[in-house]
Chain A
Amino acid sequence: MKKTKTTIAIVLGSSTLLLGLQVLGASGFQGAQKHTTPSIKIKLWDQFTAPADAKVMQTIINNFEKLHPNISITRTAMQDQSMQEVIKPALMSGQGPDLFAYDTGPGYLGVLAKDGQLLNITSYAKANGWYQRFPQWILHTTSINGQLYGLGNEVQALGVYYNKAIFSKYHLAVPKTYGQFLHVAQVLKDHHMVALEVMDKDQWPGFHLESAFYTAIAGRQAVQNVIDLKTKAGWNQPIFAQALNDLRQLVVKGYTNPSPLAVSYDNGNNAFIAGKAAMDLTGSWMVTELYQKMGNKVGFFPLPPKNPSQPDIAPGGLGGAMLISKHTKNPAAVESFLNYMLSNQTSSIWLNDNMIPPNKSAAKAHIKDANPLFKQVVNVIDNPAGMSYSLDVLMPQQVNDVTQNDIQEVLAGTISGQQAVADKENALKQAIASGAYY
């Protein structure tokens, strides 16, 4: 019993001592802090997980910190999907980032803005000449009811990479119409080549197929009308159904690899790089990797329009946007960093990493020394006819969830294009009703 009492006494005594030390330590730390130079700390969460991209971001941060020694920026990189999963609880807790990368459009940026989680940066943008520095559409994409809630950080395009050596071998030219594209595919098939590598096991590449085919078959205006909710039928229109049926026909006619749903994005790209397929429909973010591995053997063109009167444009838009949390304690410092991050001063740093910043004509001004593939992509993005829309970053997740499964079904032939567009429109209506899209 005596032993037990002694043990309890020791435990209680040491706990009190530890607690006391902790309190003293904490107050001592606070006391010490009072004597150091006041420092503004910014928490940045971005999507630059690739080493080269991360290096670019870090360079920009280092340069900014040199200009502003009282500001220090701590960055955390994560994939888009991880960001989507953690950002809401992080913002709600008040412990989230001051500045973060997120998808644009009503389904993502729009929801956060509506819920009051984002800082309205309209007045800062006006005061700092953003409306002159960036194209109208860039700022429009991150605006809700005329108020700016973010700034697009990278312009991307979806298009078809092609193996120049294979094209040359079979005397094929870059197609300018969808009819010519089918002809190219037929010639390649006749030579037992996979014309187009379709890889949709991961589901999200299906979004790119959908956006590219809607643009090529239905045209940008038809897509824009739905996005802006200007049509009653929405996605449920014969022209969109036709686009998906045309996509399915590529599989039926044997122009693609035989099992698109069993091939992952990485493996599909590797097949293209290895020369097992002549074309690969994906985004401009692949420029660096493809050029490194294929050199001058690879080229890029937008999926050509079915109707020759339509402009030969690529779907695209912003790869993402940088948004400022409403809970940030240092809005001026964060705005200042965002302003610097996408200033004309930093354009060349982005472009050297084959990323296209949203600044007006930034790309053309700096691409003299860029590789030929990157120049082709920049030309597609700088097309005077503009760009169409990459839909997954604009539609809410409920709609994307339906779409990614339905595109797989279309590719497998288990549902028709008509069914897929009807499902998509129903999902959009539900999203509108629940306030997830407006």
Chain B
Amino acid sequence: MSISNEISNTPTISLQKKIKNWLRMLMPMAFILPALIFYLVFTIWPIIGTFRLSLFTWDGVSSVMQFVGLKNYATLLSDPLFWESFGHNMIWIVAMVLIPVSLGLIFAWLLSLPGIRGISFFRVTYFMPVVISLVAVGIVWNWIYDPTFGVLDSTLRFFGLNFLALPWLGDPQTVLGAIIVAASWTYYGFCMVIFLSAMQGLDPSYFEAAKLEGCKTWQSFIYITIPLLKNIITLVVLNSLIASFKVFDIVYIMTNGGPFHSSEVIGTYMYSAAFSNSQVGYGSAISIFLALVIVIISVVYMRFAERE
């Protein structure tokens, strides 16, 4: 190859290289693009739209939307019903982190113990409530709690415990707890399956060593299993936390937030503001506030968990 030929080929090679590099860069983007478009259109754009709506007063049908700036947010901060609902969400969070997560952990541990027969049966049985629609769960638990023919009060009365046969969903003192029990029933199976699969991946040598040292089964659960599951527990707790803020369906089906707002949560309150009371701007402000709270609490919890 002559020198002159080499000189004339150089720009062609560099152009080819450039195209190659561009394609190499563009290929991953091309794969990401459909998901990105989907995410932008169905997640980011609605969030922006909701924020925009939260700056207006609008009944959902009028052609005129009145710009009110941050007034909806100011109303929200001074709305006692909103804070009552927020308080119920807080109770819900504590209960949903404690009850189903603990139950899931304990059941997973019991099922992972050696010598347990029919593990598949128990696993399916405990997991079954997870796959049932929350609407169906709500209806069934409504029957269970019915003061006239519900299985709970009937059983209590059968055993002479009449003083415990309460109007569970009709009493402001008991309603939230009653719904939390129903919701926990649908969630502990999910926690159990996650913990169980994580436990199966733990190194057995830790437990063998502990056994040789004379450690009892429950001691190895407390001092070995739980610390080793720290990351999974963090994940499950975070999931419970977010789900607890977003809770809507089971409350809506079982009580619609009643009696007189005793079981109102932010989800149901936002729904009634936006869709029943036609206060679309106010409902949007509540949902934006809720999203912010979820982000803040999730970030704080993740940081805390990572530091630990």
Is A bound to B?
Answer: yes
> B162-220: which residues lie under 8 A (CB-CB) from chain A?
167-172
* In the complex with contacts A112-B61, A397-B278, A436-B278, A259-B147 CB distance below 8 A: yes
Q: Which residues of B contact A62 (CB under 8 A)?
A: none
**Residues of chain B contacted by A203 (CB below 8 angstroms):** 256, 258
Give the Cβ gap from B98 to chain A, nearest Cβ, in Å: 26
The answer to whether A257 and B278 have CB atoms under 8 Å apart is no
Contact A436 B59, CB 8 Å, known A85-B275, A261-B167:
yes
Q: Is the CB of A398 within 8 A of B148?
A: no
Task: Write out the residue numbers on chain A whose beta carbons fall within 8 Å of the beta carbon of B148.
Answer: 257, 263, 267, 271, 276
Residues of A within 8 A of B27 (CB): 4
Write the A260-290 contact mask toward B (1 if CB under 8 angstroms, else 0): 1111100100010000100000000000000
- Looking across the interface, which residue of chain B has its beta carbon closest to that of A259? B167
With contact pairs A4-B23, A89-B60 given, residues A263 and B147 touching in the complex (Cβ less than 8 Å): yes
Known: A201-B255, A261-B171, A262-B169. A397 touches B276 (CB 8 A): yes
Q: DSSP majority for the A interface?
A: helix
Chain B residues with CB under 8 Å of A267's CB are: 146, 148-149
Chain A residues near B20 (CB-CB < 8 A): 1
* Chain A hits for B146, CB < 8 A: 262-264, 267
| CB neighbours of B260 from chain A (8 A) | 405-406, 408-409, 412, 414
- Asked whether B261 is an interface residue with its Cβ less than 8 Å from the other chain, the reply is yes
**Interface set, chain B 211-270, CB cutoff 8 A to A:** 255-256, 258-261
Residues of B within 8 A of A81 (CB): 276
Distance (Å) between the CB of A419 and the closest chain B CB? 12
Q: For B275, list chain A residues within 8 Å (CB).
A: 84-85
| Residue of A with least CB distance to B16 | A1
Query: Which A residues, 120 to 163, have Cβ-Cβ distances below 8 Å to chain B?
Result: none
Known pairs A257-B148, A409-B260; A117 contacts B169 (CB<8 A): no
A259 proximity list for chain B (CB < 8 A): 147, 167, 170-171
A91 within 8 A of B: yes
Q: Which residue of B lies closest to A412 (CB)?
A: B259
Residues of chain A with a CB closer than 8 A to B147's CB: 257-259, 262-263
Closest to A410 in B: B260
- Is A116 close to B, CB under 8 A? yes
Contact with B along A380-418 (1 / 0, CB 8 A): 000000000000000001100100111011001010000
Q: Which residue of A lies closest to B19 (CB)?
A: A1
Residues of B within 8 A of A412 (CB): 172, 259-260
B52-86 interface code vs A (CB 8 A; 1 in, 0 out): 00000001111100000000000000000000000
Q: Tell me the bound Cα distance from A264 to B148 in angstroms.
A: 11
A115 CB within 8 Å of chain B: yes
Contact A84 B61 (CB under 8 A): no
In the complex, chain B residues whose CB is within 8 Å of the CB of A264:
142, 146
- Indicate which residue in B142, B149, B258, B276 contacts A261 across the interface (CB closer than 8 Å): B258
Q: If A203-B256, A262-B147 touch, does A115 touch B167 (CB 8 Å cutoff)?
A: no
Determine the chain A residues whose CB is within 8 A of the CB of B277 once the complex forms.
397-398, 401
Closest partner residue, chain B, to A92 (CB atom): B61
B149: A residues at CB distance < 8 A: 267
Report chain B residues within 8 Å CB of A202: 256
Tell me which of A91, A261, A401 has the highest count of chain B C-beta atoms within 10 A of its own C-beta.
A261
The interface size of chain B toward A, counting residues with CB under 8 Å, comes to 31
- B60 and A262 form a contact (CB under 8 A): no
Name A257's closest neighbour in chain B (CB-CB): B148
Query: Is B170 in contact with A261, judged by CB distance below 8 angstroms?
Result: yes
Q: Does A349 contact B (CB under 8 A)?
A: no
Chain A residues with CB under 8 A of B255: 201
- Return chain B residues, CB-CB under 8 Å to A263: 146-148, 170
> Taking each of A259, A267, A398, A405, which has the highest tally of chain B beta carbons within 10 Å of its own beta carbon?
A259
Cα distance A61–B258 in the bound complex, in angstroms: 40
**Interface contact B167-A262, CB-CB below 8 Å:** yes
**Residues of chain A contacted by B63 (CB below 8 angstroms):** 115-116
Selected from A85, A92, A115, A201, the residue in CB contact (under 8 A) with B258 is A201
A111 in contact with B278 (CB, 8 Å): yes
Taking CB atoms, residues of chain A closer than 8 Å to B127 are none
Contact with A along B267-291 (1 / 0, CB 8 A): 0000010011110000000000000
Given contacts A201-B170, A262-B147, A436-B278, contact A401 B272 (CB under 8 A): yes
* A183 CB contacts on chain B under 8 angstroms: none
In the bound complex, what is the Cα–Cα distance between A267 and B142 (angstroms)?
10
A366 CB–B CB distance under 8 Å: no
Complex Cα–Cα for A19 and B147 (A): 61
Q: Closest CB of chain B to A370's CB: distance in Å?
A: 32
Per the bound structure, the CA–CA distance linking A116 and B145 in Å amounts to: 46
**Are B272 and A408 touching (Cβ within 8 A)?**
no
The complex places the Cα of A404 from the Cα of B264 at a distance, in Å, of: 14
| Interface-central residue, B59, B148, B169, B272, by most chain A CB under 10 Å | B148
- Kindly state whether residue A88 has any CB partner on chain B within 8 Å: yes
Q: Are A262 and B168 in contact (CB under 8 A)?
A: yes
Find out whether the CB atom of B61 lies under 8 angstroms from the CB atom of A91.
yes
Question: Could you tell me the distance between the alpha carbons of A257 and B276 in the complex, rounded to whole angstroms?
Answer: 30
Assess the A261–B59 pair: CB atoms within 8 A.
Answer: no
Cβ-defined contact, A261 with B60, below 8 A: no
In the assembled complex, the CB of B60 is this many whole angstroms from the nearest CB of chain A, namely 4
Q: Within the complex, what minimum Cβ distance (angstroms) separates A275 from chain B?
A: 13
CB pair B61–A258 under 8 Å, yes or no, is no
Q: Which of A91, A276, A405 has the most CB of B within 10 A?
A: A405
- A430 nearest CB across to chain B (Å): 11
Chain B's nearest CB lies how many Å from the CB of A85?
A: 5
A115 & B169 in contact (Cβ 8 Å cutoff): no
Asked if B171 contacts A262 (CB within 8 A), the reply is yes
In the bound complex, residues from chain A placing their C-beta under 8 Å from that of B168 are: 262
Q: How far is the CB of B296 from chain A (nearest CB, A)?
A: 30
Cα A142 to Cα B29 in complex, Å, equals: 57
**A276 nearest CB neighbor, chain B only:** B148
| Interfacial residues, chain A to chain B (CB-CB below 8 A) | 1, 4, 81, 84-85, 88-89, 91-92, 111-112, 115-117, 200-203, 257-264, 267, 271, 276, 397-398, 401, 404-406, 408-409, 412, 414, 436
Q: Which 6 A-B pairs have the closest CB atoms?
A: A262-B170, A259-B167, A262-B167, A261-B170, A88-B61, A88-B60
10 extra interface residue pairs, beta carbon distance < 8 Å, beyond A111-B61, A262-B170: A115-B61, A115-B63, A261-B259, A262-B168, A401-B272, A401-B276, A405-B258, A406-B260, A412-B259, A412-B260
B binding-site residues for A, Cβ under 8 Å: 20, 23, 27, 59-63, 142, 145-149, 167-172, 255-256, 258-261, 272, 275-278
Question: 5 A-B Cβ contacts within 8 A?
Answer: A91-B61, A200-B259, A258-B167, A262-B170, A404-B258
